[in-house]
Each structure stands twice: as C-alpha cells, then as structure tokens.
Amino acid sequence: MELLIASAVGLLTAAGIYLILRLRSFPVILGTSLLSYAVNVFLFATGRVVINAPPILNKTATDVTYTDPLPQALVLTAIVISFGMTAVVVMISLGAYLSAKDDNINMDDTADLQGEDA
Amino acid sequence: MNHLLIAPIVLPALVAPFIIMTLRHHIDLQRIFSIASNVLLVAIALALAAQAYDGTVQVYELGNWQAPFGIVLVLDRLSAMMVLLTTLLALAVNLYAVGSKWDERGQNFHALYQFQLMGILGAFLTGDAFNLFVFFEVLLIASYGLMIHGGGTRRFQAGVQYVVYNLLGSSLFLFALGTIYSVTGTLNMADLAVRVAELPAADSALIRVGAIMLLLVFAIKAALLPLHFWLPASYAHAPAPVAALFAIMTKVGAYSILRMYTLVFGPDVPVVDGLVGDWLLPAALLTVALGAIGILGAKEIGKLMSFAAIPSIGTLPTAVSLFEPAATAAALYYTVHSTLSAAALFLIADMIRERQGGEIEAKPLMPQSGLISVLFFTAAIAAAGMPPLSGFLGKLMILDAARSEQTAIWIWGVILVSSLVTIMGFARAGTALFWKSHGLQSHDTMEEPEIEIESYAEGEAPAAIPRPAALPFVAVFSLLAGLVLLTLFAGPMSRYAAATAQDLFAPRAYIETVLANRDRPVLDAHHGADSHGTDSHAESSHGTDAPEAHDQSEESH
C-alpha cells in the first residue's frame, strides 16, 4: 500500500511538472491539476497509512486503531482551494487565449514597448 | 478573549460580499463603503498596535478551541506592526484607485480589494501554519482578480504567468506542510516550535526537507532569486493601484520567513542548525544585484518600478538571514520604508503613464510635469536609500548590524553598489522623462494636441478642460508623508523594531501565551509519548501515535 501511494504521488508530480513545462495553457492547467492531486494524496499519507479504520477516536475502547483525522480535514480544504484555483486559472487563460489568439504562456517583452496601454 | 483581534479579518470579509451583492451597480456607494471599511481598519489596527505596544502577546482562539487543536490568531508586536502598515498602505492606495478612476475600468474592484486585505491581514495575524496557507490562498485568489482588473491582452498574459507560478507555489506549500506535519503531528506554530525543539537529531532529515521547502514557498512570495521570475512582468502589467498594494504582498513572504524561522526553525534549534541563513543570504544578495541591473535595463516605466522594488525586497532577507536581533530590527524598519516607497513609486509611474505613456524617453512635457517630477525624485531618493529620507537610515542600520559578520564585505559591497546603480537608473529615467522633455517642447508644440492642453493647464485652465483629480496626489503625498514621518520618528520607530526583534528571538512568551490553556507544562522536555494514554491528549500526540497505528496496519496486511 505504501509503495502504491508513494509511486502514485511521484508519478502524478512528475507528470504534472512535465506538463507545466510545456508552456501552453492547456497542458499547464492539466499539469497544475495533476500536481494538486499529487498533493492531496500526499497529504493523506502524512497521517500515516491506516487501512480500514475510522477517523474517530473511541473514548471507551482504548486500543482501537484510528486514522489520523487532521490530514483528512487538510485534504478537504486543499481540494476545495485547488478546485477554485483551477477554475480561476481556466478563466484567465481563456481570456488570455481569446484576446491574444495564442496560448503560449511566455510573453514577448518587445510587445511591452508597443504600448498596449492600461 | 479580545474580539478586536479578529476584526481586521471579519470586517473586510463582511464588506466584500456586501459590495458584491448589494452595491454591484453603484460605484459611488462601493467607493464609500470600501474607503469607510479601510478607515475603520486603520482605526482597528491603531487600537491593536496600542495594545501590542508594550510587548504583550494576545491570543484569539477561534471557536474557543484550545491552542494546539483549534486555530489561533496571535497578536504580538510584529503582527501589530504589519497590520498597521498594511491598513495604512491600503487606505492610501484605495484613495488613489478611486481618484484615478482605476476602479471603474473593470468590475468588482472594491470587493476584490477587500478580500485581498482580508487575506493579507489574516496571514499576518494567524498563529497556525495551515491557516497561513489558507490566508495565502485568499490573498492570492483575490490578487488574481485584481491582477487582470481592467483587462487587456498583455495583462491577461501576465496574469496567466502569475497564477500558474503561484499555483506551483501553493502546491509546494502543501507538500512542505504535509512533510512537517508527518514529523511533528501539529501545525500550530507555537506547538511546532515546542516539538521541533524536542526532535532527536537522528530524526532531522524530513524536518529539514520540510523547512527548506517552506523556505522556497516563502521565497516565491518574497520574490527572491531565483524564484523572482513572476514579479517584474506581474507588477509591470498589473493595474497601478494593485501593483502598489502588491508592495505589501512580497512583505507577507518576508514576514513568514521571519516568523517561521525565528519561532519554529529558530537559529538555536539543533535539527535545522544553520540551514536557512546559509541559503537565504546569497539568494538575497543576488536578488539585490539583479534588481539593480534590471533598473538600468528597463525601457518601460512599469518595468523600472518593478525592478526598483526588487532590491528593496532583497535587502530585507539579507538582514533577516543574519538571524540576530540588531539586523532584524533594521530589517523591520526597512520593511516599513520599502513598502511605502515602492507603493509610491508604482503610483507615480501610473501618473506618468496616464499622461504620456510608459516608455522612458524624452517626450513633450506632460501636464503637472513639475509636481510629478518632485514626487518622482522624492520617491526615487527614498527608494535608492539616499539621505535624508528613511531609506538611507534603514540601509545604514542594516549595514551597521552586518558590520561584525564574516560576510560583511559581501553585504556592504552588494548593498552599496546596488544603491549607486539604483540612483543611476533613476537619474537616467528622471532626466529622460522630466528634463529632456523641456528641450522637446518647442519642436513638437504644433503637432501634438496634448501640448495645447498642457500649456493651458500651466496658466489659467479654461472651463472645458477638467482639472486633474486631486485625490491621486493626496494618496501619493500621504505615502511620501509616511516616509518623512518615518524619518522624523526614526528613534521611536527603531526602538519599537528593536523590541520586536528581541521578542522574535526570545519566543518563549509567544509560545507560552499560545499554549497557556494546555494542561501539560509547555516546555517540559518529554514528548507527547507519555501522555497518549489519557483521552484529553490523544489527539495532541498524533506524531507519536501514528507510527503505532502504522505498524498495526502493516500487521493487518
């Protein structure tokens, strides 16, 4: 199980970074979402991997295993935030693509001087 | 509990949705509410600063959950100072945005502005590392909206870069927090400080990785070399008031470095010994040098101001990286100065750009050329660190604090040379923009319609030509007045900074106040290990419980 999770995190991160380096908005967005999945799985694992245990502490039975509930709360927050961020980045890149007719992330510095004003 | 502590977060959080939902089509009402909220924030920040002035640390437990379990807000001298600085800057910038009608060029400026403030103030006040991440996201997502306010191709493209870069930063932040949590089992900063100090040296690999990843995240926010790439394009293309407000955003990164690496990964914590300073100093010095070179190369005034902001951003971590109170006090003083001067420069750049476009070259004289040139030179003197303004004092204090260090020759050399280069860069831009323009006037008078408007404005303005709005000038003058005040009251200010630095390097009061309600003694040496038999502590000892649970799960395989 540890191997599966670790390799999943590694693979997602590697794929995400590769896609981000493509410098076209669509792959970059895919890359950032893959990266956020990697983060989410990683956060789950930070509470140590526990199988078949509730994230609830049992007051009466002291030796019952439980999953660390805090990473789950963190993951929930991270999922919501990354979802929102993905929506924002999609909208902004769409705006950039539609107005520039080009989805390259790189900017051409000389165009600054041609005075596309405020 | 003192509910005033949460007011700087709640107030903008209430005003922003109110503006969106009820005032969407009433720009005047939006302005009134936005500025009123800003004025109130200044009042709140003043009250908080008065409370923190004597060095008391106050804790606000959200939902009354006790410290290591719930999220806490903490007010100490440092956060009170940053909150006050933010609110003052935000008020001036908001006045500029209203006066220059920047807020009309797109939708929801004021709502996003309030959300942005909420994020920044929250980041300064929070005492929880994950909550810091959440406030970073709040301020970022608002800044994405502000960044592309007003639209335009170039701005959108710069916005995409900015968003993607910061998304990467956020992912890294989460990786760092996850790593730290997996070692310590807590994310409350005070609790982290206790646990990291207790970590056995053999266990240091993961926590060191976490500490460095966290440093990278804050370096992205603080735009340190080599993670500064997002800054010049973003600042140059962002709407001017937004760029001016962003002057505080890099300080959020610097603040986080200062907070985390004095409180949690302090200089005397064995497991991360010397880790941060060694990396931070060269990166900071390179940042200073790069900014200075960029100033010389800039052909566009927005770029010039962006690069002018970079040396001041780099100077801060240079002083912080020495990790000793005198240098930190100097850095704090310089923080206030560099925030105000960078914001003033961005606003002045916008005034110039509005009147004659962004290129740095001799053009026909613009309206109010004399007034703007005075503003420009005052702000440039301040930013370059020339006497008599506060930049000089700040740099002097930093150099003085660095005198006894081994690396002093590097710090002195880079800061002094870059100051000289900055002066040259500003002098070049200033002469091109303001002096050479006088020579051109006679040639171009016939062709350029703007000149006629201008020549009227110099003398008696006819009724048809609108007088320039006074509010933008009020905003810039108030920022510059802040710099003058900072110079005049350098004594009390630097004493406050020194006291703040002392607090930072003796975090015991902070830790004890935050963890006061926890029933086990704060700084006792033994781990959570002996307490996880009892129910009330079971959750606090994640870090030690979890490996056991881990073993059990392996058995179940």
State how far the Cα of B381 lies from the Cα of B392, in Å rounded to an integer: 9
Q: Which residues pair with B73 in a beta bridge?
A: B60, B126
**Total-model pTM:** 0.86
| B492 preceded by a cis bond (ω within 30 of 0) | no
Distance from the Cα of residue B376 to its chain's centroid: 22
Domain ranges of chain B: 3-460+467-518
List, for chain B, all residue ranges whose pLDDT scores fall below the cut of 70: 439-468, 518-557
CA distances from B451 to A8, B5, B458, B524 (A): 65, 53, 10, 75
Distance from the Cα of residue B350 to its chain's centroid: 20
Where on the phi/psi map is residue B371: left (φ > 0), alpha (ψ -120 to 50), or beta? alpha
Backbone angles phi, psi at B380, to 5 degrees: -65, -40
State how far the Cα of B429 lies from the Cα of B294, in Å rounded to an integer: 13
| B226 preceded by a cis bond (ω within 30 of 0) | yes
**Segment B56-77, tens digit of pLDDT:** 888 998 888 887 888 899 999 9
- Cβ of B322: how many Cβ atoms within 10 Å? 25
- Cβ of B32: how many Cβ atoms within 10 Å? 14
State how far the Cα of B496 lies from the Cα of B481, in Å rounded to an integer: 20
- Cβ of B267: how many Cβ atoms within 10 Å? 16
Q: How far is B376 from chain A (nearest CA, A)?
A: 20
Name, in order, each residue with C-beta under 8 angstroms of B521's C-beta and a sequence gap of 6 or more.
none
Residues of A within 8 A of B168 (CB-CB) are 20, 32, 35
Query: Which of B84, B204, B129 is CA-nearest to residue B497?
Result: B84
State how far the Cα of A54 lies from the Cα of A69, in Å rounded to an integer: 8
Residues of A within 8 A of B545 (CB-CB) are 68
Cβ of B148 within 8 Å of Cβ of A113? The answer is no
Residues of B within 8 A of A118 (CB-CB) are 105, 150, 152, 239, 353-354
Name, in order, each residue with C-beta under 8 angstroms of B230's C-beta and a sequence gap of 6 or more.
B161, B162, B165, B166, B220, B223
Cβ of B547 within 8 Å of Cβ of A48? The answer is yes
Residues of B within 8 A of A94 (CB-CB) are none
Provide the pLDDT for residue A111: 57
Q: Which of residues 337-376 of B touch A (CB under 8 A)?
A: 353-354, 357-359
B150 touches chain A (CB under 8 A): yes
Query: Which of B180, B227, B235, B189 is CA-nearest to residue B79?
Result: B189
Provide the pLDDT for residue B454: 45
Q: Would you write out chain A's pLDDT as a tens digit for each of its 118 residues?
A: 889 999 999 999 999 999 999 888 899 999 999 999 999 999 988 888 888 777 777 777 666 777 888 888 889 989 999 888 999 889 988 888 888 888 887 776 655 555 444 3
Provide the pLDDT for residue B466: 56
Set out the domains of chain A in order of their start, with CATH numbers: 2-50+66-106 (1.10.287)
- Tokens (6 digits) for B200: 């056995």
Q: Which of the 8 DSSP states describes residue B56?
A: -
